[in-house]
Each structure stands twice: as C-alpha cells, then as structure tokens.
A and B are shown apart, each in its own frame.
Chain A
Amino acid sequence: MWQDLQDCLFDAPFTVIAVAEEGRGAEQARPWIEQARPAYPCLIDSDHRVSALYGMVNVPQCVWIDERGVIVRPPETAGSTDHFRRMDFSTRTLAPEDAAARLAARAAYLDAVRAWVRTGKHALPGDEARARMPVITAEMAQADALFRLALHLRRHGQAAEAGEHFAEASRLHPDSWSMFRDAMALEPSGLAGGAAFWDRVNALGDKPYYTPPDL
C-alpha cells in the first residue's frame, strides 16, 4: 500500500523507506519485495536495529521524519487495526462492517500522510512529539541485547540456546510483538501466527494489539 503513497506524491520531496524486520535474513523478505516491486527503498534489518533505535514494538509501525531529519511523529501504528482479532477463524474472513472499518482506518491514515507531505498538517510540535516518544527502560535495553544475541546464535546453528535468550528478551520486554513473533517457529504459511501467538493476543483483553494512531 505504500507504493500508492509514493506514486501520488511523486512530485513532492518525499520518500517511503520500508524496513523489513527479518531476523532470518533477506531471503525471507525477498519474495514479498520482488512481488511488490516498490519504487522506494526497501531495506533489510536482520538485527531489528530500527525497532531498537526508535523504540518500536510491532510491525507495521512508522515514524514521520521531516526534511531536517527531525522526528515529527514518533512511532505509531501505520494503518493497521485490531479487526483481525474478530475474524471468522473457519473462513479467515472479516465481517463486512469490520472489513469496511479496517479499510476506512487505513485510508484515513494514508490521507494524513499525504496532508503532511503537502501542507505540514499532523506534524507535532516538539514538546508533543517528545511527550509521545517511547520510554526506553533498562529492561528494554537488556532485552534488545539478548534478542540480538539470540538472532546471531539462531543464524549460526544454535537454535536451542537462542530460544532461551529469545524467551528472556520477551520476558523483559513483554510489549514487543516483533521480538516475540520473530522468535517463534514459523507456520507453513510463513507466518508466526500459531497457537502461542493467539494465546498472547487473547491475553491482551481490552488492550489493543495495534494501538490506533492519535491524529
């Protein structure tokens, strides 16, 4: 969906930069990128470095950065919604009203990005941007170190020990879905969407999986 954004803003000083948080490496992302054939940079982040640097906890999340390299919107959900939690699991489809609401939320977010690029609307003043910035705790920093260690060990044939460090990273940083999901064994579909994922989603109760952006 980001290509539409790039296409309609082709005449503006603007770019999407899409970063694939792929702990198993570039080949996992390759089929998706080659199919989408994006005109914007699509980068491979096999250590989840961008998530760590910006305090991101899920995908897709985004940050808006102005022409001076200043963050004008801290990490927030990029157009996704929680409607998937109510899907019909036998058919893996959404109720029509949920499907419509999901599309509307995505369209509203893309409209907001376009408005920002054209007029500057939705860029936050510095104090507000600062107030919305994620708080990095000592536990999160330790989790990032353990997660990076685990990714390295998994890539080097030490999956069993990697699993222990993944688990400790998720324990220290329970809000990070990216750590939890990249650590999971993949389903045949390639998704980290097995029972452990749904148990964790259901345990959220009233809390969102994708926190709606406050535009």
Chain B
Amino acid sequence: MATVLTDTGTHAVPTAGGLMLAPEDAERITGWTLKPEGMCREEFCVPVPAGMKQGTHIDVAAFWRHLGNPVASDRAGQTWVLGTGPGERQSALAGLQAPEFVLPDLAGKQHRLSDYRGQKVFLTTWASW
C-alpha cells in the first residue's frame, strides 16, 4: 500500500511495486482512464509506451513523468507526490483567472476562494516562522 499526494488530496492505493497500479486505482487518483488507445482524460488520449505496462497494471509514476509532470517519492517507495507540470501551471496563470483552492480555517471550516466571487480579494500569505 502506498500513499499518493496529488492536487486533489491524499490517497492510499495498493501497488504491485513502485507506483504500479491497477487501472481503476490509477483512474481514481489521476483522473486518467486506461482504454485500448491509451490513457484518456475526457476526449484526449495519450498512447502508453509498452514499458509502462506490466500485465493489467500501469506504472503511474512513469506515465506522470511522460506527461511532463513532476514526480517525487521517498526512498522506501511508500509515499509519492504527483505534481502539476510547469506548462499547465503557466497557462493557468497566463489566463489570469485566479487559481482555485480550498483551505481550512482554525476551526476546520473549509473556505473556497470562489466563495468570495463578487468581492475584491486581497489574498496575502504570512507565516509564524
């Protein structure tokens, strides 16, 4: 069982070594679905090189890098981060629409940036350190 941190949250998934996942687990954590033509998200499909498959399983770390996205893992191969690549992030900023996030306050209440649509927002960071 590995822990995978993605932009959508923290996921526990069974692996067959490395980040070799069953297609349904790969879909659950990445949003990409394995089809005969490759890994697909909505109408868009990316062929999967033969080396990235092992039986029915797919090497999600290798596929993620293949998409141009960052991957990090601990030495034990138990914890993985699947990040978002520079192209997608730069395009989002160039579009000028403020990237959405959901974060808790001290009481645990979740706040979504878009909850404040209709107001001017002064978004500022700070830290205790």
A residues neighboring B (CB under 8 Å):
2, 5, 12-22, 26, 28-34, 41-45, 49-51, 53-56, 59-71, 74, 78, 113, 116-117, 126, 129-130, 133-138, 140-142, 144-146, 148-149, 152-153, 158, 161, 165, 178, 181-182, 184, 186, 190-192
Contacts and interface: CB of A to CB of B under 8 A. Distances in A.
A13 B123 CA distance: 14
Contacts of B79: 149, 152-153
A165 B80 CA distance: 12
Interface in B27-85: 68-75, 79-85
A59 B66 CA distance: 34
A182 B120 CA distance: 29
Nearest to B110: A43
A138 B124 contact: no
B contact patch SS:
mixed
Interface centre among B86, B99, B126 (most CB of A within 10 A): B126
B105 A42 contact: yes
Contacts of A181: 127, 129
B101 A53 contact: yes
Contacts of A50: 101, 103, 123, 125
B117 A69 contact: yes
| Ranked 4 nearest A-B pairs via Cβ | A145-B83, A43-B103, A62-B124, A145-B70
A142 B104 CA distance: 25
